[in-house]
């Protein structure tokens, strides 16, 4: 998860919304797999907001 947090920080720093969304989605999956559903929902909701913003239909 540390690498995904770094990925997220870098994506935000360079303002790459697509990469930011991917990092958030990956973090959501990781927390889901760890059973931390509150954090999984938090990250997934952020990812969904970015996906809608950039019109990423995948």
Counting the structural domains of the chain, the total is 1
Domain presence at residue 48: yes
Cβ distance 7 to 23 under 8 Å? yes
Helices vs. strands in the chain: H and E counts, helices first: 3, 0
Asked whether residue 58 is assigned to any structural domain, the reply reads no
Is residue 25 in some structural domain?
yes
- Asked if the structure places residue 31 within a domain, the reply is yes
Query: Which pTM value belongs to this model?
Result: 0.92
Does 24 reside within a domain?
Answer: yes
Q: Which domain holds residue 13?
A: 2-53
Full pLDDT tens readout for the chain, 58 residues:
899 999 999 999 999 999 999 999 999 999 999 999 999 999 999 999 999 999 988 8
The reply to whether 7 falls in a domain is yes
Distance between CA atoms of residues 22 and 13, nearest Å: 15
DSSP state of 35: T
Q: How many CB atoms lie within 10 A of CB 58?
A: 4
């Amino acid at each position: 998860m540390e690498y995904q947090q770094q990925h997220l920080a870098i994506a935000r720093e360079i303002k790459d919304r697509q990469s930011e969304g991917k990092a958030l989605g990956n973090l959501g999956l990781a927390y889901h797999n760890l059973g931390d559903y509150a954090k999984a929902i938090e990250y997934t909701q952020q990812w969904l907001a970015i996906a809608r913003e950039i019109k990423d239909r995948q």
